[in-house]
Structure 1
Amino acid sequence: MISTLDWLVLLAYAGVVTTFGFLAGKKESTSEDYFLGGRKMPWLSVMVSIYATSLSALTFIGVPGAAFGGDFVYLQLAIGDLAGRILVSTLLLTAYYKSQVTTIYEFLGKRFGPRSRDAGTGFFILTRIVASGVRLAGCAIALSVVFEIPLNGAIVLIAVVALVYTALGGIKAVIWTDALQFFLLLGGAIVTLSVIWSAIPGGFNEFFQIGSEFEKFRIFHVSASPSHPEFFLNFNNPNALAAGLLFGCFTTFAVLGTDQDLVQRMLTCDHVKKGQKALLWTAALNFPITLLFLSVGAALFAYYKVVPDAAVDAFATAQHNDYIFPHFIKTVLTPGLRGLLIAALLAAAMSSLDSALNALSSTFYIDIYKRYIRPETDEKGAVTLSRYSVIIFAAILAFVAMQCGKTESVLWLGFKAFGYTYGAMIGVFLIAVLTNKRGNDIANVAIMVTSVLMVLFLTADSIGPLQEIRSTLLSPLGIEKISWKWSIIIGSIWTFGIGVIFSGKPLKS
């Protein structure tokens, strides 16, 4: 049960992040201050903030849950992730800094025209609402298990805390609180491993023995034989090597290069080289930290093999593996330590939710309100409006989270949420930076929409009367549909491949 000491730890955490938001917001007088921190943020704090946001509750809860129910195949994504970060750094960041934009969809407007900008804005807002709603649901699941409160109540609680300091402090509050929350997340995972290894009679050696016996440490599902289910290019197997590596690369490229949520962080540095440095150093963090959270899941599996628990067996049977880590925090950890891990759970939610709120607010103001509703808004009015829009988006994300809270795995649902749309985003941005006179404003919109339809046609579980047509088209591959991990790749190739056929205005120097 939650003790007085646990509550004190949680109150201290809530007090610190709220104070950060208040102090950061005292000097927010312009929209550039509020959205980009005046472009004067230190690259090291930006680097930590980028990584803290990409961690989120999906990592803290979902990755251990995935390892508990499976193995370390998720690490394939971390390998592809490195290539994605290098591509963003070399291809996109230089173009964004050169254009001096507040949102990256302004860049599409300068390159192609207003309709491409509108499409990018709309795709981002829709996808970010769904993906961040899933992230919020992930942490709320944990809190509902720990505190034995309704899931919807936990969602509202988290959303309220995040919107308070985000609305007060803007991007500065987001970056500085993310830095704090990053170390709290990391500490929580390390503490969990230490506790489990101490609790198992054989310590680390027994953990490793159990993990090896049940193949928990397996990373690669690969075969060179086309007839084998684990053929490296099996389009129907989401764990196939090619799917994992390419999905990791394309997903990272999309999230860190075409999503205002994370790109906004890099644009707060005063020079492109500092933004690139912040991004590339996150690559050095990603592999070991992903391995750390996978190890937590394997350690939980080993612990409950040694110390059976009926509740954990019920979670596993129902494939609710995301509930197991919160259950461990609640029932095994000691007072104080339990409060620290619950604070880490909150940090996992806040570090992604706060940035999403700020990015949605900035995109709404710059790309919609200022263009179509009231172009002459003064700077004071802009900051006020942005704070109100944070509140509105927090309510929307809470509603979406309530709809997503009962899924079997928040980790994979989160990836699926943007796999259908971000391929189109990647394709358009690649046309913008890799060509000079290719791409057409109106055509881009049509191609992005058809990209989503093509991805759904090839990867959706059911497409009604089109099912037979798809089966016929894919019969040479011996499959009836393509795995969802290929969705973002298909969308990228479709959008770029067709988009470059059309000519348009040259890229402005």
Structure 2
Amino acid sequence: MKNLPVLDLCVIALYLIAMIVVGIYFSRKNKSSEQFTKASGKIPGWAIGLSIYATFLSSNTFLGVPGKAFGGNWNAFVFSISMPLAAWVASKYFVPFYRTIGGVSAYTHLEHRFGAWARTYAVVCFLLTQLARMGSIFFGIALSLQALTGYSMSVIMIVMGVCIIFYTVLGGIEAVIWTEVVQAIVKTVGALLILFLIIKDMPGGVSDIIKIGVTDQKFSLGSLSPNFTESTFWVVLFYGFFINLNNFGMDQNYVQRYHTATSEKEATKSVWLCVWLYVPASLLFFIIGTCLYAYYQVHPEFLTSIKQQVAIERLPHGASSQEISQLASSLKPADYGDKVMPQFMVTNIPAGLVGLIISAILSAAMSTISSGMNASATVFSVDIFKRYIKPDITEKQNMNLLYVATVVFGLLGMGTGIAMIGVKSLLDIWWELSGIFAGGMLGLFLLGMISRRAGNHEALTATLIGILVILWMTFSNLIPEQYSFLRNPLHSNMIIVIGTLTIFLVGLFMTSVRKQPVTR
């Protein structure tokens, strides 16, 4: 790494070596697919809670949230405010449900309820969501390390991807959980350290930060008006509730952890521990973003290099210096918000501490990617390969399949991250993609769980209608101007809300009309 002192390189190297050692240690236990995917159900609730918290606290939070607060306000924090309600629903209904049915996959029961198509549809939605998630995380790693190393983002993603794939393949879900316990602590300490260093370098301290933030309305949670065409308080609240409901209730990353707990009580405890840790932690990152905004208002000269870098990325190769300067001068804070945290690290954090901060960012990324790889491999093994290709697969073959699938999904996630290079906002692109892919399967799941009379015909029809609605809401902006009245008028964060409600309500309506017999 070109710009990092030896001390920082040693800190980062020690962290990466420690993660690999953990993978090697747990590899000795992985003698069966049960151990690889469920850790034989022997993980305590507090460790699972820290693991789920670490998955939530990804590099999308570590870099995207400060960037969002820097370029705008605290509107996105409403997402975190919605978490306790979603957690209540999950702990009361979802955790007992999954612990009762027993299967490691979150989607097997959909086949029993509606048929093979429902299971396959949910699996495809989940895998697409995971690729979007892992891609955005890889992109977040590269975004921060590029500022420190000067290497291309593609090279950074490939190098880090190999390390993550290595320890995930070796250790299975148990290695994922215990490394995430460590990563949860590292990233939280790293965030607190960044906040301290920003305040320390601010001439007027906390009082000036508050004054600048109030003057520029940086603490606003968004408009309370019932306007669903913009990112108001209510749009983010609804989006957050439905996404978090999907996370706790349908996402294999979390459902798989419920099965690793020693009991239902411990699994429920893990959900609430995650919530009580993540809500204040996410607030911490919004505070960091506002502090960075105040700092660069006092020192605007430090933003020159960031603006020039963004301008170079957006202009065609070979653009003149005049074109670069003109575009750089026209950029707004929202255009370069994701880059301010890495810039501050380069210029303001002492040697040694930079290594710790980078390790925190790496841990934020590695925890989410590793869990996504393990969950994707598990779903592929159970819901696709064993269901459609080889039902009588042996235990040894299944273990080899899990290893190969973990590697493949890691590589696909890496490729998705490379494809995201150049996006405007890390948090925005992740929110939009997750809303598109998650809406359909959440609506189908709720229909099957709440309406015991809904049958295969109603579920399939409702899902097809829901998919059409989601596709229209997503791509209607491509409709020519003369037919603009046909475009989706709602904010993109409403896609998961409308998509979920469409499938659920259409299914209920058709069920009430047809009066199907009760499903046993």
**The TM-score by the shorter chain falls in which range?**
over 0.9
1:306 aligned partner = 298
Is 2:345 the counterpart of 1:329? yes
User: How far off is 1:443 after superposition?
Assistant: 4.9
Residue equivalent to 2:491: 483
What is the TM-score when the length of structure 1 is the normalising length? 0.92
Aligned equivalents of 1:124 and 1:257: distance in 2? 12
What is aligned with 1:464? 479
| Deviation sequence 1:263-320 (CA, Å, 0-9, x none) | 2122211322211111022221222111100011111111112223122454582602
When residues 507 and 88 of structure 1 are mapped into structure 2, their CA distance, relative to the original with a 3 A threshold, is farther
Query: What CA deviation, in whole Å up to 9, does each residue of 1:467-502 have, x standing for no partner?
Result: 766726x8xxxxx61111111110111111122324
Moved more, 184-193 or 456-465: 456-465
Aligned to 1:426: 442
Picking from 120, 137, 142, the partner of 2:144 is 142
**Which residue of 1 is the match for residue 408 of structure 2?**
392
TM-score by length of 2: 0.90
Question: Counterpart of 2:489 in 1: which secondary structure?
Answer: coil
Which residue of structure 2 aligns with residue 227 of structure 1? none
Q: Quote the Cα distance in structure 1 between the aligned partners of 2:483 and 2:443.
A: 26
Q: Which residue of 1 aligns with 2:427?
A: 411
Deviating more after overlay: 200-209 vs 44-53: 200-209
Q: Secondary structure at 1:21's aligned position in 2? A: helix
RMSD after superposition:
1.9
Q: Secondary structure at the match of 1:398?
A: helix
Aligned residue number for residue 31 of structure 1: 33
Aligned match for 1:50, one of 49, 52, 57: 52
Q: Which amino acid aligns with 1:351?
A: S
Which shows bigger deviation, 453-462 or 98-107? 453-462
CA distance in 2, matches of 1:2, 1:491: 47
| AA of the residue aligned to 1:419 | G
Q: Give the CA deviation at 1:218.
A: 1.5
- The AA in structure 2 aligned to 1:21 is G
User: Are the aligned partners of 2:461 and 2:507 in contact in 1 as well (CA < 8 Å)?
Assistant: no
* Deviation, structure 1 residue 463: 3.6
Indicate conservation of the 8 Å contact 2:306/2:336, yes or no: no
CA separation of 1:167 and 1:445: change in aligned 2, threshold 3 A: farther
Code of the aligned partner of 1:458: M
Describe how 1:345-384 pairs up with structure 2 within 5 A: 345-384=361-400
The secondary structure found in structure 1 opposite 2:107 is helix
**Letter matched to residue 472 of structure 2:** F
**Identity across the alignment (%):** 29
Question: Judging changes above 3 Å, is the alpha-carbon distance between structure 1 residues 443 and 29 closer, same or farther for their aligned structure 2 residues?
Answer: farther
Structure 1 pair 109–339 and aligned structure 2 pair: CA distance change class (3 A): same
Match of residue 278, structure 1, among 262, 270, 274:
270
8 Å CA contact retained: 1:216, 1:298:
yes
Corresponding position: 1:289 with 2:281: yes
Matches within 5 A, 1:26-425: 26-222=28-224, 232-238=225-231, 240-308=232-300, 309=302, 310-314=304-308, 317=331, 319-425=335-441
Q: Distance in 2 between matches of 1:327 and 1:493?
A: 42
Structure 2: gaps spanning 5 or more residues: 311-327
* Distance in 2 between residues matched to 1:193 and 1:351, nearest whole Å: 22
2:288 partner amino acid: V
Partners of 2:203 and 2:143 in 1: CA distance: 30
Report the Cα offset of residue 464 of structure 1.
Answer: 2.1
Contact persistence 1:103–1:362 (CA under 8 A): yes
Q: CA deviation at 1:155?
A: 1.1
Letter in 1 for 2:485: S
When structure 1 is superposed on structure 2, of 485-494 and 255-264 the one drifting more is 255-264
- The question of whether the paired residues in 2 share the 8 Å contact of 1:112 and 1:505 is answered with no
Deviations 1:304-352 (CA, angstroms, capped at 9, x unpaired): 1222312245458260211110111122111100000111111111011
- Alignment pair present for 1:447 and 2:447: no
CA contact (8 A) 2:56 2:278 kept: no
CA contact (8 A) 1:34 1:169 kept: yes
CA separation of 1:60 and 1:385: change in aligned 2, threshold 3 A:
same
